Amino acid sequence: MSHLLGIDVGTGGTRALVIDERGTIVASATSEHVPFASPHTGWAEQEPADWWRAAREAIAAVLKQPGISGESIAAIGFSGQMHGSTLLDGKGDVVRPALLWCDQRTDAQCREITETIGQARLIELTLNPALTGFTLPKLLWVREKEPSLWERVRSVLLPKDYVRYRLTGAMATDVADASGTLLLDVSKRAWSETMLKELDLDPSLLPEVFESPEITSSVSREGADATGLRLGTPVVAGGGDQAAGAVGMGIVRPGAVSATIGTSGVVFAATDRPALERGGRVHTFCHAVPGMWHVMGVTQGAGLSLRWLRDMMGGGLSYDQLSETAAGVPPGCDGARWTPYLMGERTPHLDPDARAALAGLTASHTRGHLVRAVLEGVTFSLKDSFAIFAEMGVPVSGVRLGGGGAKSPLWRQIQADVYGHAAEIVEAEEGAAYGAAILAGVGAGAWPSVDGACKAIVKVASRVPPNPAAVAALRAVYTDWRRIYPALKGIGATDPVAAT
């Protein structure tokens, strides 16, 4: 039987996952990345060469598993962290470390974009505002701050597309990942000539853009030698991690919504139209499903909040042990509150200077209270996206959970109670790598469409119903929680000592 390979180039590592034509996972492996560098507050950079090293290691690991070989892989799909700026010179060499999705240095460039294009016109052109995480402001920052390096730049690729380039020799991307650059006309699913012209960027910098299941290239001789994959194996466009992850969870039709908690947190709703939110509080991107779009709200510091708390507490507790300490704490944490703005915030505040806070603490609060406050605070932040979807008329018929937030029984229940919907968990909760493999299968003809593939192989394993009493209690707590951000806005954004 032939196999399908999905490769997900994440922030923390690269994952390779192999499925068969029934959608069964038959092999997987992950190779961790060197942690991203943060040479200044709010900066986040990675070396693209490390992504390629990790991809080679993960691919080699799955090809060593029983019954799998380079010859058995029928097609390959890619996914990866969005928004990162990988800058190459005319020889295809990396010019500087890539600026990542969570890098916050580009506030001035965002203002420049907004002033140049106009806020309303910018959202009409790209369906999104200028945010520090997006790719375009990063390009302008390098052009302004590092002009000698910018003079060498001949190509701009997103993280997964750099690994594709190393594997195939081809420069390509997909409409879903390209939506997060602020250079795509999301409604038309094509690069925006207007944005490129008005920001004085050469169109030749950008790769060709494809629909996610389309074949873009094939494994080159160099790629085959480096990985053990078969020369000529077709490679499809794939999708940014959120769109590919949604495919892996079956979020491909209007009304289907996912809430995924990794380092960041994302609420993702599939739509059959390019829905516009004029305030730019949520993103509207092309979906990895041809002819579909999605609306997405983002919490920058979701799983990051729990990791931060774990590291600050010390003691070497696992995430499961942390959850156990919070198991007996009632909804609302006896007044303890957490706002998860460790890396600024996107939805709904669009504020790179937002700061996290523990509030409402008393001497009677325990470690368990703090853990549950973090779980609730992250979930409240994600609920902000549901509130905006309701304003936009985006339907929500069910919620599927993904990422680390789907692995904790306590966090699953908190999400069901805060969202007020039953929380579904799919059988193959593998996220973006699984979605990338599905897209590869559609490109190879294993299934006639992305929707058809998901109907055939994505199954719900369990459902967590909301607790009516907890729903009512947390609705009141959410109202109280929303008062924290405006009350603390601006505090800590500028360090008066560092400024002197």
Q: Which residues participate in catalysis according to the annotation?
A: 241
Residue 434 tokens read as 């699984």
Tokens 């010859």 correspond to what residue?
71
What's the DSSP call for residue 330?
P
Residue 114 tokens read as 């907004």
Half-sphere exposure of 258 (CA within 13 A, CB side): 32
DSSP 214-255: SEEEE--HHHHHHH-PPTT-EEE--EEHHHHHHHHTT--STE
Q: Is 389 helix (H, G, I), strand (E, B) or coil?
A: helix
Distance CA 485, CA 201 (A): 37
DSSP 398-455: EEEEEEGGGT-HHHHHHHHHHHTSPEEEESS--THHHHHHHHHHHHHTSSSSHHHHHH
Distance CA 221, CA 401 (A): 40
Dihedral over alpha carbons 420, 421, 422, 423 (to 10 degrees) = -100
> In this structure, which amino acid lies at residue 459?
K
Which regions of 290-363 does DSSP assign to beta strands (E)?
293-299, 337-339, 357-359
| C-alpha distances in Å from residue 264, one per residue of 8, 70, 122, 417 | 16, 34, 25, 20
Distance CA 371, CA 436 (A): 33
Dihedral over alpha carbons 105, 110, 113, 116 (to 10 degrees) = -110
CB atoms within 10 A of CB 214: 17
Burial of 341 (0-12, 13-18, 19+ CB in 10 A): buried
> In this structure, which amino acid lies at residue 223?
G
Residue 360 tokens read as 């409402």
